[in-house]
């Protein structure tokens, strides 16, 4: 799935704005005809999209609402898009959504927190007005087009894998910082594989140098059929024994696990907040972010690429309880990993994938007994989808320092709150407990990252001794 963009051959129309919402706690909306339009009464509200409903509609009583809701908007497909292949592309719908267009069920979402696209064949037409529930972009592309691509850019090579439903030749162009390069390869059976040597300056946190990659699909008579583009940097990531390497040099990750959350917007995309967050990251000397505990918006990755912030992309899997694990859970977990990798594998800033956060959180006996085979299958799926990046998961202390997942991790991540949830507020004991963790985990002979730690504080609370919730502690 190619990100919405405006190019010489493509159009993306942002449908964000004021929509209408109606809550459906009893799940009766479909029977009452809401796919054909929401009722015009006091139970239908205005809502800003993107944005969570919680704070927007707190005064109407929906701050803590958990359940089904219908969102609706109307728009007109420009007549200029006649002859184009039309679709609706959602950045995400959390946690599940069905899409209706003029009363017809058009499709549904996939893995939570990730994009999905609904083909508009027979449902969207140029010059017609339509109603639908929860889109983000109306996307128009040529009938013959690039349908998928992956760009792997290392310090001295560009490897491209491209799929198209027609065309004769693919031309790849790299431009920026005084460099203009072009490579071409024939389209054979709808595929292009290109491996080219490049001489460019590498991307790093100290010098996040980005170039413009443009892919042009050409006809046999040298006519432009389709064009897509993104910014990329060139860098190497590797694990060497107990060291994580970036561009061949040892890498120390210093950063945060954050959340997509802000006042009023909730988890809705908040661009001013994102700009501020990245300024604060750089201000305090951080160089990395783990997307705890789900994939973040693509705009977050845009800024990470631009600012040189290293990203560990995390699959939406939190506190997996192995008393409940079965084949369906594993299949869904694999799908979530595949879809995350498919969306972000061409991103320069993404240096690793985290496949889960704190599985075995309840210290259930089934975790050490049965998780080994689960991890073997999940990690194999992720490595097949992207063999170029390290894999890991976030271990919780309750799962133990002999976590079966460690056998499959390329580097180890641990979440530890010694001195807060355990040994509060005894910092000498907390320090000893963390040192014991390090000693035990060092036996795996892999890099170790403390992915979570810390304490809370109340502004203005002070003490001359170790005391919870004080600023000093």
pLDDT computed for residue 132 by the predictor: 35
Low-confidence ranges of the chain (pLDDT < 70): 125-135
CA dihedral 440, 445, 447, 450 (to 10 degrees): -10
Instruction: Give CA separation, 143 vs 3, 9, 89, 120, 314, in Å.
Output: 17, 10, 17, 12, 34
To the nearest whole number, what is the mean pLDDT of the chain?
94
CA 7 to chain centre: 23
Alpha carbons 168 and 219: distance in angstroms, whole number: 5
Edge to edge, what strands does the sheet with 157-164 contain?
146-153, 157-164, 191-197
From CA 361, how far away is CA 318, in angstroms rounded? 9
> The pTM is what?
0.93
Task: Give dist(CA 268, CA 259) in Å, integer.
Answer: 11
What pLDDT, in 10s, does the model give residues 279-314? 999 999 999 999 999 999 999 999 999 999 999 999
Per residue in 180-195, pLDDT (tens digit) is 999 999 999 999 999 9
Residues of the chain with pLDDT > 90, as a percent, come to: 91
The pLDDT of residue 133 is: 39
> Is the preceding peptide bond at 95 cis, omega within 30 degrees of 0?
yes
| CA atoms of 417 and 402, how far apart (whole Å) | 18
Residues 6+ apart with CB under 8 A from 281: 255, 256, 289, 307, 309
Strand intervals (E) in 263-322? 288-290, 310-314
Distances from the Cα of 438 to the Cαs of 50, 108, 139, 248, in angstroms?
42, 45, 50, 25
- Tell me how far apart the alpha carbons of residues 170 and 164 are, in angstroms, rounded to a whole number: 9
Under a CB-based contact definition with an 8 Å cutoff, are residues 253 and 287 in contact? yes
Give the pLDDT of residue 19.
94
The count of other CB atoms within 10 Å of the CB of residue 382 is 21
List 353's β-bridge partners, or say none: 313, 391
């Amino acid at each position: 799935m190619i990100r919405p963009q405006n190019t010489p051959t493509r159009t993306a129309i942002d449908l964000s704005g004021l929509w209408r919402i109606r809550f459906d706690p009893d799940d009766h909306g479909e029977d009452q005809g809401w796919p054909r339009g929401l009722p015009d009464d006091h139970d239908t509200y205005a809502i800003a999209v993107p944005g969570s409903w919680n704070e927007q509609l707190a005064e109407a009583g929906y701050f803590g609402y958990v359940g089904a809701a219908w969102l609706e908007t109307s728009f007109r497909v420009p007549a200029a898009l006649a002859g184009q292949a039309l679709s609706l592309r959602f950045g995400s719908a959390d946690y599940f959504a069905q899409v209706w267009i003029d009363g017809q069920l058009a499709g549904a979402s996939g893995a939570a927190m990730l994009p999905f696209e609904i083909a508009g064949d027979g449902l969207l037409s140029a010059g017609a007005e339509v109603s639908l529930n929860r889109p983000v972009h109306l996307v128009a592309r040529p009938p013959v087009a690039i349908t998928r691509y992956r760009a792997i850019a290392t310090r001295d090579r560009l490897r491209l894998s491209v799929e198209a439903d027609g065309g004769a030749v693919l031309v790849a162009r790299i431009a920026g910082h005084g460099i203009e390069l072009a490579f071409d390869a024939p389209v054979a059976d709808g595929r292009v594989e290109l491996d080219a040597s490049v001489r460019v300056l590498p991307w790093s946190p100290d010098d996040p140098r980005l170039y413009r990659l443009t892919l042009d699909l050409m006809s046999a008579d040298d006519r432009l059929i389709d064009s897509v583009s993104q910014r990329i940097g060139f860098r190497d990531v590797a694990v060497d024994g107990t060291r994580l390497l970036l561009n061949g040099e040892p890498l120390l990750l210093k950063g945060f696990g954050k959340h997509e959350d802000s006042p009023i917007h909730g988890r809705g995309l908040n661009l001013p907040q994102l700009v501020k967050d990245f300024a604060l990251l750089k201000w305090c000397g951080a160089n990395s972010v783990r997307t705890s505990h789900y994939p973040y918006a693509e705009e977050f990755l845009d800024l990470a690429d631009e600012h040189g912030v290293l990203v560990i992309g995390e699959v939406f899997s939190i506190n997996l309880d192995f008393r409940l694990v079965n084949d369906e859970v594993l299949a869904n977990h694999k799908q979530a990993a595949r879809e995350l990798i498919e969306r972000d594998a061409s991103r320069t800033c993404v240096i690793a994938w985290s496949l889960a956060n704190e599985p075995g959180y309840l210290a259930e006996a089934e975790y050490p007994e049965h998780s080994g085979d689960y991890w073997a299958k999940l990690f194999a799926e992720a490595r097949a989808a992207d063999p170029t990046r390290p894999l890991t998961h976030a271990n919780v202390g309750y799962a133990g320092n002999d976590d079966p997942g460690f056998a499959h991790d390329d580097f180890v991540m641990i979440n530890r709150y010694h001195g807060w949830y355990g040994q509060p507020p005894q910092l000498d004991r907390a320090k000893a407990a963390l040192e014991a963790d390090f000693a035990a985990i060092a036996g795996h002979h892999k890099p170790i990252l403390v992915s979570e730690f810390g304490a809370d504080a109340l502004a203005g609370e002070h003490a001359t001794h170790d005391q919870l919730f004080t600023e000093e502690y």
